[in-house]
Amino acid sequence: MYLRDIQQALGGEVIGEAGAPLTGVGTLEGAGANQISFLANPKYRGALASTAAGALIVGPAHRELTTLPRIVAANPYAYFARVAQLFSAPPAAVAGVHPSAVIHPGARVAATASIAEFVSIGAGAVIGEHAVIGAGCVIGEQATIGDGTRLAARVTLYRRCHVGARGNIHAGVVIGADGFGFAPDFTPTAGAWVKIPQTGGVRIGDDVEIGANTTIDRGAIDDTVIGNDVKLDNQIQIGHNCVIGDHTIISGCVGIAGSARIGRRVMIGGAAGILGHLEICDGAIISAMTLVTKSITEPGTYTASMPLMKHEDWLKNAVQLRRLDALADAIKKGGAK
C-alpha cells in the first residue's frame, strides 16, 4: 500500500508520498524502507533522525519534526494499530465442516461458518455467520457464538453460555465452568462443604477478545456478564456472577472473585487481585500487583504494593509493621517515646 491507500481506508492527513509500496509496519529503530513506523511517545523523538522507515505516523505536534513521508493523525498509536491490522488481516477462513467434527442434529451452524477438525457442538447450539471454530473446540448444549467470532484451538464453551459477534477467543479458554460455591455445614465432630449448584450462565458481548487459558465461571443463579469491547489478557480468572462493563481492559494473571462488579473503561494491571462483592467505578485504573480489598467509588489510579527491596531490608520493615498497632495504642495513651 501507498500512504494514500492507507489514508483512504483510515483518514488522517498525508504529507509527501513513499517512493515504493509499503508492505508492513516496524519500529523506528528497526523499520526498513518498505515499512511504516510511528511516533506516539515524545521521548522517542531522537530516533526520527536515524530511522530508515519509508513513512511515519505522527501526531499534530510532531508534524514538522521529520521530512519523511508521513500521515498526521490525532492519535498516532491507535492509528498505527489500525494500519497494522491492514497489513496483518487474519487468514480467510474456508466455510464448511471438517469430516471429523461431531455436530448434534439439533444444532444450527451457519453455512458460512468454518468448523475445524475434532470439534464437538451440542444440541441446540447456534454458530453464527462467518464464525470460525478451531480444532478441538467443545461447544455445549444451547450455547451460542455470534457472527464473525473466531475461536482458536481447544476452546470450551459450556452449556447455555453466549458469545457475541466479532469476538476473538484464544486457545485453551474455558467459559462457563462451575463457579467456586460451597456452603459450610460443620459440627464439633463432623461436617462437610456442600456444593451450591451453579445454574446461571455466561453472557459475553460483541468485539470481546479473551487471551489464552483465561477462565470465566458461570453464575450461581444469575449470569456472569462481560460487556462489549472488553479485552482480557492470558490466564485471567473471573469468578461467578461478576459483571464487567464495556471497554474495560484487564492484564494477565488477574484474579477477580465472585460477584465483583467492574465498571466501564476500567484498566487493571497484571496480577492484581479483586475481592468478591466489591464495586469498581467507571474509569478507575488499578496498578499491577494491587490487592483491592474495598470498593472504589471515584475514578483515579489506585496502587497497593510494596516496592522491590533487598530481602534483609524487607524483613526489617516487616518487623516494624507488626509493631504499628502497639505504637498506635501508645500514641493514644500519650506514652510514645
**Helix, strand, or coil (residue 287):** coil
**Residue 45, CB-side half-sphere exposure with 13 Å CA sphere:** 9
Contacts of 276 (CB under 8 A, 6+ apart): 239, 257, 258, 259, 260
Q: Which of 240, 247, 277, 311 is catalytic?
A: 240
Distance CA 304, CA 207 (A): 31
Contacts of 34 (CB under 8 A, 6+ apart): 20, 21, 22, 23, 24, 54
**Helix, strand, or coil (residue 151):** strand
Is 240 marked active-site? yes
Residue 208 in contact with residue 230, Cβ under 8 Å?
yes
Which three cell numbers, joined as nine digits, stand for 5? Answer: 491507500
How many other CB atoms are found less than 10 A from the CB of residue 243?
A: 18
Q: How many residues does the chain have?
A: 337
Distance CA 270, CA 289 (A): 6
Enumerate the active-site residues.
Answer: 240
